[in-house]
Chains A and B, each alone.
Chain A
Amino acid sequence: MGAESRSSVSPPGRQYWKIAVVVLGVTIVAATGLYHLARLYVLNEAERNIQAVLLTHKGLHRYIQEVMHPVFYKLRAEGLVADTFYAPEIFSSTFIVRNQHKAYNEERKAAGLEEIYYKMAARNPRNPVNKADALEEKLIRMFNENKEIKDYREIVRIGDKDYLFVALPFLVNQQRCMKCHGNREDAPLGLQALYPGLGGFNEKAGEIRAIESIRAPLEQQYFLLYIVFGSSFAGLLVLAGLLFFNGRLRGMVRTRTHELEQEVVERRRAEEEVRQVNEELENRVEERTAQIAAANKELDAFAYSVSHDLRAPLRGIDGFSLALLEDYGEQLDETAKGYLGRVRAGCLRMGELIDDMLQLSRLSRGEIRQQEVDLSGMAGEIAEELRRGAPERRVAFEITPGIRVFGDAILLRAVLDNLLGNAWKFTAKIEEARITFGRKEEGGKDLLFVRDNGAGFDMAYADKLFGAFQRLHSLQEFAGTGIGLATVQRIIHRHGGTIRAEGEVGQGATFYFSV
């Protein structure tokens, strides 16, 4: 897929350039191959022509020697031919073959064919026509020196034409040849009379006397056209193939592109949907936030009005109860005065409850302002304040120094106020009171704790400790509204922390918390 998409991206011009290179390459390779094939064919053709000529010559030689010679000798023995008669035209096979070949070439020429050069080349011929040239002489020597070599071939250029030149040993002197080709003095008289020179005499048995030297033209010009046409055809074929496959590839790319486009459209639609859902969600969140903000505002207004309107009547009740006591005290008996005392106490307690409740509500609503808070320092200040409030008490504070956390200073102050205040309160009846603020590792987490050795509590009610208005001690034992720990828990939760308590009746209590 990657390759396809890449090819679809490359400019079409570059592709045609590539195709042109490929087609040219194929054409060159095809032309080279065809040229070699043509050459081989032309060489074979020449080789076959030469072979045919040689075999024809061989047949003629045999006919002369095996048919004509016996007739001649018979006629001579019968005295019909004189002993001195000798005519190469009807006796010498080489002479006859040479002249037959001359006629053959004339016939070829007449038929519009090129001549095939043929020569019986000898070092020491009787007829100078057969005299070997420099190359032939060298070849005769070579064949004599190395009998293993059966032929020699070479492509030679004469004028502007190439020829296949073949040379091969023709005659090896036999013992019987020595009659006519040995010492001249031993040769028949007729022969001596005919050939006055040394040509053809003094040969040695076992030596090559003559070679056949033959040269056939290489008709390669006819093939040039085939090569051009053949290679062009191959090139065109490849071009057609390439264009065909290119077209198919383009078709595939088009199809795939179309598919991808569809996918893109699909994906855009999905993205659009996601965006819409997100927008909807955002709107809903905004709406909710606004609702929550409105609810908070209402709660705020409610708390505000509570702090004003709920307290005012209490002050009336308390004030007028006191007015009764003061102004009409002598008309009331002790029981009535006691009742009025209870009315006033109830008012005061309700005032405290309202104040604590408002504090709880206020602490739960305000924004948390994160900053580094020195809890140890804070605990020290609170301890000082508590000591100042009741200088007669003997309480040992143990505060681990350097405890710092991130949180809202005002809210955390309220936490320590409540926890240390509770510890102070519940150790009131202990002589050697001890209050500890420290740090402890538990399960890899840093826990802070406030511990006292005061009244403690029953673990069975541990879950009630943090409920608003929940109290584990009577008012007579220890004062309080039961809001403090609820406030502490609310603040700790708002800081993302946890709080729990451990204790035992009469053995003190420990509050563990994290911020």
Chain B
Amino acid sequence: MILLVEDNPDDEALTLRALKKNNILNEVVVARDGVEALDFLFGTGAHAGRDLALMPEVILLDINLPRINGLEVLEKIRANERTKLLPVVILTTSNEERDKLKSYTLGANSFIRKPVDFLQFSEAIRQLGLYWLVLNQSPPLVKV
């Protein structure tokens, strides 16, 4: 399972298209802002009662998000016992130094800048999927 946290519907569609194009058929859960993402991960709000044994193999996290931004989401993920080991890939338009610094400081596993060129973007998504869903061994589920 992939958790895609993305507020821009264009980017969402393009990301899903790129995943599909590259034959990455894992389930994709889309959260359109930080609150939704956290609700999904912690089984709260709209996702109350969700089976928390199911956790995404990778979280693709945008930084600029309504309500709670991506960096705050990351901070909360790392602060929670249940989610602190989840691989988080920052997928953003920004290439600001401070965003990179903050992301890695808060414990991001990777930082990818979305290229304007869709072919490059698609290639990035392909490699991402290959690495995190196929090559990478997920961390063991933390029992709380």
Contacts and interface: CB of A to CB of B under 8 A. Distances in A.
A322 interface: yes
B11 A308 contact: no
B93 A312 contact: yes
B32 to A, nearest CB: 14
Contact of B11 (A315, A322, A344): A315
B121 A319 contact: yes
A348 interface: yes
Interface string B76-93: 000000000000000011
A132 B73 CA distance: 151
Given A315-B10, A316-B11, A308 B64 contact: yes
Contact of B116 (A304, A308, A314): A314
Contacts of B95: 307, 355
A137 interface: no
Contacts of A316: 8, 10-11, 14
B57 to A, nearest CB: 24
Interface string B41-75: 00000000000000000000001100000000000
Interface string A302-318: 00100111011111101
B10 A320 contact: yes
B116 A311 contact: yes
Contacts, number: 63
A366 to B, nearest CB: 9
A32 B119 CA distance: 127
A390 B126 CA distance: 27
Contacts of B13: 319
A319 B17 contact: yes
Nearest to B99: A304
B143 to A, nearest CB: 38
B27 interface: no
Contact of B10 (A309, A312, A351): A312
Nearest to B18: A319
A364 to B, nearest CB: 15
Nearest to B114: A315
B104 interface: no
A488 interface: no
Secondary structure dominating the interface of A: helix
A189 interface: no
Contact of A308 (B17, B92, B115, B118): B92
Nearest to B9: A316
A355 B92 CA distance: 14
Contacts of B10: 312-313, 315-316, 319-320
A323 interface: yes
A308 B117 contact: no
Interface residues of B, number: 20
Given A315-B11, A316-B10, A323-B17, A307 B117 contact: no
Contact of A348 (B8, B17, B94, B116): B116
A312 B13 CA distance: 13
Interface in A280-330: 304, 307-309, 311-316, 318-323
A322 to B, nearest CB: 5
A319 B21 CA distance: 13
A43 interface: no
Contacts of A26: none
B116 A322 contact: no
A492 interface: no
Contacts of A319: 10, 13-14, 17, 118, 121
A311 B17 CA distance: 19
Given A319-B17, A348-B116, A351-B116, A312 B8 contact: yes
A313 to B, nearest CB: 7
A307 B94 contact: yes
Contacts of B8: 312, 316
A97 interface: no
Interface string B107-144: 00000001111110100000000000000000000000
Interface centre among B17, B64, B114, B117, by most A CB within 10 Å? B117
A305 to B, nearest CB: 8
B118 to A, nearest CB: 4
A322 B96 CA distance: 27
Q: Which of B13, B14, B93, B118 has the most CB of A within 10 A?
A: B118
A347 B121 CA distance: 14
A307 B116 contact: no
Given A315-B11, A319-B121, A322-B119, 8 more contacts: A307-B95, A308-B64, A314-B116, A315-B10, A318-B118, A319-B10, A319-B13, A351-B115
A-B residue pairs, 4 tightest by C-beta: A351-B116, A316-B10, A319-B14, A319-B118
Interface of B: 8, 10-11, 13-14, 17, 63-64, 92-96, 114-119, 121
11 contacts: A307-B93, A307-B96, A309-B64, A312-B8, A315-B14, A315-B93, A315-B114, A318-B116, A318-B118, A319-B118, A351-B115
